[in-house]
Amino acid sequence: MTDPLFPELIEALREVLEEAGQDSQFDQQLTRLIANAYGGNADRKDVELLLNAVTLDAEDGH
C-alpha cells in the first residue's frame, strides 16, 4: 500500500510540530497516529497514549 499521508499534510504537520515545541517522542507518535488513522488502523487507545506524551508548559517549568 502507498503511504497514506500526502505531501501537503506531511509538510503542514512538520511545520506545526516545529512550532509546538514538544519532544521528539510526541512528534513521532502524532505522525504515526495520523498515518495509522489515514490507513484505517488507529483507535481511541492510540489517542490516549498520545495524550500521555503531551508535555504541558506547567509540567516542564516554562
Partner 1 sequence: MDIKVKAWKAEGLRGAMQDFQIDLSDPLRPIALIQMPTGTGKTTTMTLLRKAFSGDPFSKDEVEELRAEFGPEEGLFELELMLDQTSCKIKISFDFVNLTSRYNTVLTPGGNRQGHELPRPYDRLLDKNLARLFVFDGELAAELRDRHLTSADEAIDSLYRLSVLSGLKADADTVLETQRKQNKHITGQQSNTVQRRKDALIEAEDRLQELAEERRVTSLSETTLAEELKTLQATINDLAEKNSKVDDAYEIAKGDVATAAARLDAAHAQVSSYFRRPQALHAAIGARLAHCYDQIDAAKLPGPSSKVWFDWLAEQQDCVCGRPLTDQKHRDAILENKDQYLGDEQHGLVNQIKGALKQGAVATAMANETIETLDDATSEHQHAKQQLRAAQDRRIKAAGGNIDTLRSQEKQIEKDLNDAQKTLATLDASEGRSWKDSIPLCQKEVDSRKEALNEASDTFKTYQKVKFLQAILDEVAARTVKKVRTTIQDRTNEKLAGVIHAERLTIDRIDRALQLGGTSRVRGEVSVGQSLAVAYAFLTSLFEHASYRLPFIVDSPAGPIDVETRKSVSKLLPQMFPQLIMFVQSGEREGFVEAFYERNDVQYLTCWREPNGIRTVRGREAFEAFHSDDDAQPEDDAI
Q: What is the contact surface with partner 1 in residues (CB under 8 A)?
A: 1-9, 11-13, 15-17, 20, 30, 33-34, 37-44, 47-48, 50-51, 54, 56
Smallest separation (angstroms) from partner 1 to the CB of 38: 5
Smallest separation (angstroms) from partner 1 to the CB of 28: 14
Write out the DSSP string of 4-59.
SS-HHHHHHHHHHHHHHT--HHHHHHHHHHHHHHHTT---HHHHHHHHHH---TTT
Instruction: Closer to partner 1 by CB, 9 or 28: give it.
Output: 9
- 31 CA to centre of own chain: 4
